Amino acid sequence: MADPASPPLLQIDEDEVGLTAIRAQGAGGQNVNKVSTAIHLRFDIPASSLPDDVKERLLALHDSRITKTGVLVIKAQQQRTQEMNRLDALLRLHELVNSVAVAPKRRRATKPSYGSKQRLRVAKSQRSETKALRGRVTD
């Protein structure tokens, strides 16, 4: 059962996600040169079926994986198999989308309390006395 305080999970249609198998970079011996195990995931945010407010928050993220045209590109190449990299890429996509699924709470401006103002005045006067004692001593 899901926690009531957790954000609602948004479902993403598999048809909206483009998956391409490519050759992984880096060390791996002969296997890395022969087998396309890495996955490029492409998700077009503006054309997706996500709610408009979620789309806006996703596009507002300063993430280098989101292109100027609003396409999210995730490259998964950590695992040894194509299927594991595919699952990793989809999991990262869901995590990113669900991180902006709930709108942040709007901040309400408040005023400092009477007690906090009094504490500030006392602290300032004490600090002023301390600094005044640093001056030149005269007889």
pLDDT digits (tens, 9 = 90+) for 80-138: 889 999 999 999 999 999 888 888 899 999 999 999 999 999 999 999 999 998 988 88
Residue 76 within a domain: yes
Q: Domain containing 63: what range? A: 14-99
pTM (predicted TM-score): 0.69
Q: How many domains does the chain have?
A: 1
Residue 107 within a domain: no
Residue 110 within a domain: no
Residue 82 within a domain: yes
Distance CA 21, CA 25 (A): 13
Q: Domain containing 47 — which CATH number?
A: 3.30.160.20
